[in-house]
A and B are shown apart, each in its own frame.
Chain A
Amino acid sequence: EAQVTQNPRYLITVTGKKLTVTCSQNMNHEYMSWYRQDPGLGLRQIYYSMNVEVTDKGDVPEGYKVSRKEKRNFPLILESPSPNQTSLYFCASSSRGRQNTGELFFGEGSRLTVL
């Protein structure tokens, strides 16, 4: 089954404790991206990756890091989480090139609470 898998789905942590949210896709997609969803603000892009070893900042990258060492994985790293990073996070992927239909496939979301 084609899917984007995120872990953990729910996490409560404390300020300053480093955490990683993993994202994996099995569709051989070149493009992957992280969004955060906050009430009234929609989905805002944090980072994206056009392919392995190619990453770039989105609209709200402060406080986050990413890496793309393998095509299928795109982890989101919060080195020192703060309460303003409490949010619902979505990983997404899409194909590029001739197979690019434009559709962005989302994971199920990871709800993060930073105390």
Chain B
Amino acid sequence: GENVEQHPSTLSVQEGDSAVIKCTYSDSASNYFPWYKQELGKRPQLIIDIRSNVGEKKDQRIAVTLNKTAKHFSLHITETQPEDSAVYFCAASTRGGAQKLVFGQGTRLTINP
């Protein structure tokens, strides 16, 4: 089955700097790659996703890139702010949507003022 590896497990950046989180997946049939943000004590919530027919997607300060050949995708956060502090999860699915999502281990991002 699908296996998703996420790095780093923790990341600390200065406010205003950029943060990058990387994930690799094993199943070449995977076609949907979302990113979820989980604030402390809260539920995970979708922040951005990308499908396999697209190489990059942006939404204001966040962007996701996908390299199907290498089977990896990354989350980029620019101009980080204190409210970006959270745990971020990448995920992959072969079903084109939320069904059978396999999640990475998570990255705890801390933004230092």
The answer to whether B100 touches A48, judged by C-beta atoms less than 8 angstroms apart, is yes
Bound complex: CA A100 to CA B104 (Å): 22
**B residues 1-38 in Cβ contact with A at 8 Å:** 1, 6, 9, 32, 34, 36
Interface of chain B, main secondary structure: loop
Among A50, A59, A101, the residue within 8 A (CB) of B99 is A50
Q: Is the CB of A42 within 8 A of B6?
A: yes
Q: Closest residue to B49 on the A side, CB-wise?
A: A102
| Most chain B Cβ neighbours within 10 Å, of A41, A94, A103 | A103
Judge whether A102 and B97 touch: CB under 8 Å. Answer: yes
Number of interface residues of A (CB under 8 A): 25
Residues B99 and A96 in contact, CB atoms below 8 Å apart:
yes
For chain A residues 49-80, which have a beta carbon within 8 Å of chain B? 50, 58-59
Give the total number of A-B pairs whose CB atoms are below 8 A apart: 64
Which of A's residues lie within 8 Å of B, judged by CB? Answer: 31, 35, 40-45, 48, 50, 58-59, 90, 92, 94, 96, 100-104, 106-109
Question: Which residues of B does A touch, CB under 8 Å?
Answer: 1, 6, 9, 32, 34, 36, 42-46, 49, 89, 91, 96-106
Q: Which 3 A-B pairs have the closest CB atoms?
A: A94-B98, A106-B43, A104-B98
Question: Could you pull out 27 A-B pairs where Cβ atoms are within 8 angstroms?
Answer: A35-B103, A40-B106, A42-B89, A43-B44, A43-B103, A44-B103, A45-B101, A48-B99, A58-B100, A90-B44, A92-B98, A94-B99, A96-B97, A100-B96, A100-B97, A100-B98, A102-B46, A102-B49, A102-B98, A103-B34, A104-B34, A104-B36, A104-B44, A104-B46, A106-B43, A106-B45, A108-B42
